[in-house]
Amino acid sequence: MQHITGTLIWYYYVCKREVWLMAHELHPNQEDPFLEIGRLIQKESYAREKKEIELGHIKIDLIKRANGEFIVGEIKKSSRFEEPAKMQLAYYLYCLRKYGIAATGELLIPKEKKRIKVELTDVIKVKLEHAFTAIKEIIKQEKPPLPQRTRYCSHCAYKDFCWV
């Protein structure tokens, strides 16, 4: 049984086909320049603040405590993927809450000097629970959903799987 992960939540809000490809271990081209830039930004940004932790099947970039509350940070390379990134971060807050840890989130976009606050509201919680069911349904399918052109395709490391 495939675990829901932060990456799958991210893909769910980018493209349903990516969910299937990733879940079936069809990994994208690792030398894709957009993936490399993302890895570099992840490695070099907030190096002093960085405290990566793994909790079950989730991996959090950065967690800190300020004014008595936990703040989870997720580093991204641009706000182009703001909505998927917010939902990924909200998913981490959801998992932490299951472990009894109340936290808020900060989406960090160093290239744009942005910090966006993310909270796990009841509406987002319901959206996530809907996404969990939908992701499981997508993964169960024999074939991936057909490609749909979106604004994300041009930066997608899977584009060779979709377009010739």
Number of residues that bind ligand SF4 (CB under 6 A): 12
Of 33-41, 116-124, 126-134, 156-164, the segment contacting ligand SF4 by CB under 6 A is: 156-164
Instruction: With beta carbons less than 8 A apart as the criterion, state whether 35 and 121 touch.
Output: no
Query: Considering beta carbons, is residue 35 or 162 the nearer one to ligand SF4?
Result: 162
Query: Considering beta carbons, is residue 132 or 152 the nearer one to ligand SF4?
Result: 152
Residue 147 in contact with ligand SF4, rule: CB under 6 A: yes
CB of 154 to ligand SF4, least distance (A): 8
Query: Considering beta carbons, is residue 125 or 159 the nearer one to ligand SF4?
Result: 159
Residue 139 in contact with ligand SF4, rule: CB under 6 A: no
Q: How far is CA 77 from the centre of its chain?
A: 12
Interacting positions 50-109 with ligand SF4 (CB under 6 A) = none
CA nearest 21: which of 164, 160, 158? Answer: 158
Q: CB-side exposure of 35: number of CA atoms within 13 Å? A: 10
Residue 162 in contact with ligand SF4, rule: CB under 6 A: yes
- Looking up tokens 């930004």, which residue turns up? 41
CB of 148 to ligand SF4, least distance (A): 6
| Binding mask of the shown chain, residues 5 to 44, with x at each position contacting ligand SF4 by CB under 6 A | ----------x-xx--------------------------
Give the helix/strand (H/E) hosting 62: strand 62-66
Give the helix/strand (H/E) hosting 56: none
CA nearest 101: which of 58, 71, 143, 145? Answer: 71
102: helix, coil or strand?
coil
Give the helix/strand (H/E) hosting 19: helix 16-23
The site for ligand SF4 (CB under 6 A) is made up of 15, 17-18, 147-148, 150, 152-153, 156, 158-159, 162
